[in-house]
Amino acid sequence: MTLLYFIIAISLLVVIHEFGHFWVARRCGVQVLRFSVGFGKPFWSFTDKHGTEFAVAPIPLGGYVKMLDEREAPVPEHLLDQAFNRKSPWARIAIASAGPIANFIFALLAYWLLFVSGTSGFVPVVGTVADDSVAAVAGVRSGDEIVAVNDHETTTWQEVSWQLVGFLGEDADIRMTLKSADGTQRSTRLQLNNWLTDQEVPDPLAGLGIEPRRLDIPAVVGEVQPGGAAAAAGIQPGDHVVAINGSAVADWYDWVEHVRAAPGKALQLTLKRNDALLDMTLTPGSKTLDDGSVIGFVGAGVVAPEIPSDWVRTSHAGVVQGLLLSVNKTIDLVVFTLDSLWKMLLGDVSVKNLSGPITIAKVAGDSASGGLEAFIGFLALLSISLGVLNLLPVPMLDGGHILFYLVEVIRGRPLPERVQIIAVQFGLFLLLSLMLVAFYNDISRL
């Protein structure tokens, strides 16, 4: 299913991107020879009345629009006026920029749909604050609701994280507005220094020492995976874990912590099953995390708790308000993407945050499992990333072509062919280097 959702996401965004090039090229009078989704030899295609071949190829990592161009093949005399290279620089700029613009338009419409249909999230109430953390020093307390960050209203934990993530790698003074359990509001300031610069997967909340409030979940087993340590020990759904090694188990979180801390170590359990107490021995398996640490796991799932209605906040926007919110959201994400890339260049944010197809596939599957709202939000975010990256002034990308055409406008003639070839070779080297880093990061996370 992860692979399926990855193919759906990439194929959809490629079609949108390439359709932008295709649509503007047709309006500029350029003959489009092929519109391909995927790379390699097409396994399905058809040709329309304009002579354009629409194809689907087996490698779903991109796509392309091939246009009539004298630089690639001889063009018949009667078709010269439809050749891409014969069009004005401004027409070529419009065609090159149309793909990224199509990605931004898709993101804008996706966010508009989400805002109008309604978005929901957990109310940002603090559960615990780590001792001597940034939040503790600032006076953040358990039970506080985070009302605003730097005067930006935060109605859900997603909005809190979004406001914080822009400070990664910075020295900053964040103003946070809090509402106590009795309803009184106060402001505090959080001091950040090179915040989470060296973190491979930075967590803004954990970086402040804040943990969201958690539901009280009893240590009752909801499901047991066949072949796991829990099944081997004889644990059954409905069992209530009362004690481990003679120590009482407070709740599900306590039970999980005991298991995680004991990879390969025998645990003496006391369970309650049908009002009877049972003793058994459980030996958790071992799992290695991304950071190299080893934890225990047993293959037991929790009974899904019922979430109180006042823990969730849902908002619906009108048609016009939703459009304004989606425009602001799209602009914010474009700025954030550019800012993150700049911070990586400066070393303020680790390059380990770069991700490739494997991570994209994993996130696609995770977001799809979270429901339609989460998957559409993922598509919008990925579409913006695709648009921004393609507009970077790097040869081989749309932004590199646009740069060439702008130079042609200024000079009154194209750059020398040798200069363009060298620039393209440099761009190819840069892109391959980034791809290698992204693949390495992907594989190291497996």
pLDDT in tens, 321-378: 999 999 999 999 999 999 988 888 888 787 877 888 888 888 888 888 888 889 999 9
Active-site residue list: 18
β-pair partners for 301: 223
Helix then strand count (H, E) for the chain reads 12, 20
pLDDT of the residue at 254: 93
Is a pLDDT exceeding 80 seen at residue 271? yes
pLDDT of residue 293 exceeding 90:
no
What span, in angstroms and rounded, lies between the C-alpha atoms of 135 and 138? 5
Mean pLDDT for the stretch of residues 112-138: 94
| HEC readout, 338-370 | HHHHHHHHHCCCCHHHCCCHHHHHHHHHHHHHC
CATH number given to 122-212+307-314? 2.30.42.10
Q: Mean pLDDT throughout 426-441?
A: 88
Write out pLDDT tens, residues 11-37: 999 999 999 999 999 999 999 999 999
CATH for the stretch 221-305: 2.30.42.10
Q: Would 122-212+307-314 and 221-305 be classified into the same CATH topology?
A: yes
Q: Are 57 and 38 in contact (CB under 8 A)?
A: yes
- CA–CA separation, 287 vs 294, rounded Å? 5
The pLDDT of residue 304 is 81
Amino acid 369: pLDDT: 84
Confidence (pLDDT) at 393: 92
pLDDT band of 164, cuts 50, 70, 90: very high
Quote the mean pLDDT of the chain.
Answer: 91
At residue 291 the predicted structure's pLDDT band, cuts being 50, 70 and 90, is low
Q: Using one digit for the tens of pLDDT, what is the confidence trace for 85-97?
A: 999 999 999 999 9
Select from 202, 186, 209, 187 the least CA-distant residue to 137. Answer: 209
Domain boundaries, the chain: 90-118+316-446, 122-212+307-314, 221-305
Name the DSSP letter for residue 220.
B
Q: Would you say residue 187 has pLDDT above 90?
A: yes
Q: What percent of the chain has pLDDT over 90?
A: 69
Predicted structure pTM score: 0.82
- Taken as a whole, the chain contains a residue count of 446
Contact between 95 and 30 (Cβ < 8 Å): yes
For residue 378, the model assigns a pLDDT of 94
User: What's the mean pLDDT in 170-183?
Assistant: 92
Check whether 290 has a pLDDT greater than 70: no
pLDDT at residue 420, rounded to an integer: 87
